[in-house]
Amino acid sequence: MWITSSITGDLITLLITLSVILIGYCKWTYQYWRRRNLPYLEPSIPFGNLGNPRGSRKHIGERLERVYNVMKDKGWKHGGIYGMLSPIYVPMDLDLVKNIMTKDFQYFPDRGIYHNEKGDPLSAHLVNIAGVKWRNLRTKLTPTFTSGKMKSMFQTLVDCEVHLHKKIETECQRKAAVDIKEVLGCFTTDIIGSCAFGLECNTFEDENSPFRIYGRKVFDRSTELQVKRTFVNTFPNLSHLFNIALVPRDIHNFFMKLVKDTVNYREKNKVNRKDFMQMLIDMKNNKLAEEEGYKHDGTTLSMDEIAAQSFVFFIAGFETSSTTMTFALYELAKHQDVQEKLRNEIRSVLAKHDGKITYDAIQEMKYMNQVIDEALRMYPPVPLLPRKCIKDYRVPDTDVIIEKGTMVLISVLGIHHDAEYYPNPEIFDPERFSEENKSARHGYAHLPFGEGPRNCIGMRFGLMQSKVGLTSLLRNFRLTLNEKTQEPLKMKTNSLVLAAKGEIWLNVHKV
Residue 20 lies in a domain: no
- Does residue 411 form part of some domain? yes
- Of 501, 236, 237, nearest in space to 386 by CA: 236
* The 78-83 sheet, strands edge to edge: 78-83, 86-91, 407-411, 384-388
Biggest alpha carbon distance in the chain?
95
Residue 448 lies in a domain: yes
Return d(Cα 96, Cα 37) in angstroms, integer. Answer: 17
Q: Give 466: exposed, middle or buried? Use CB within 10 Å, 0-12, 13-18, 19+.
A: buried
- CA 296 and chain centroid, separation: 30
Give a yes or no: residue 335 inside a domain: yes
Nearest partner of 494 among 225, 311, 236, judged by Cα: 225
Structural domain contains residue 43: no
Cβ atoms of 184 and 322 within 8 Å: the answer is yes
How much is the pLDDT for 120?
Answer: 92
Q: What is the mean pLDDT of each run of 10 residues along the chain (511 residues)?
A: 60 75 82 96 91 81 97 98 94 98 98 92 94 91 86 88 93 93 93 84 81 80 75 84 89 92 91 84 72 53 90 87 97 98 98 96 98 98 97 97 97 98 98 97 97 95 96 97 96 90 96 92
140 contacts: CB under 8 Å, gap ≥ 6: 283, 288, 289, 294
In a domain? residue 117: yes
Give the number of other Cβ atoms within 10 Å of residue 431's Cβ. Answer: 11
Q: What is the pLDDT of residue 329?
A: 98
**Is 68 within a domain?**
yes
Kindly give, in sequence order, each residue whose CB lies less than 8 Å from that of residue 355, ignoring residues fewer than 6 positions away: none
Domain housing 232: 60-79+93-510
- Please give the tally of structural domains in the chain: 1
Q: For residue 286, tell me if it sits in a domain.
A: yes
The total of other beta-carbon atoms located within 10 Å of residue 11's CB is 10
The pLDDT value given to residue 287: 63
Q: Is the peptide bond before 143 cis (omega within 30 degrees of 0)?
A: no
Nearest to 410 by CA among 97, 39, 84: 97
Residues sharing a CB contact under 8 Å with residue 470, sequence separation 6 or more, in sequence order = 325, 328, 329, 342, 368, 371, 372
Amino acid symbol at 46: P
Sheet holding 505-510, edge to edge: 178-179, 505-510, 477-481
Selection from 290, 287, 284, 288 nearest residue 302 by Cα:
284
CATH number of the domain within which 329 lies: 1.10.630.10
CB atoms within 10 A of CB 283: 23
Q: Amino acid identity of 196?
A: A
Per-residue model confidence (pLDDT) at position 84: 87
Q: What is the pLDDT of residue 4?
A: 57
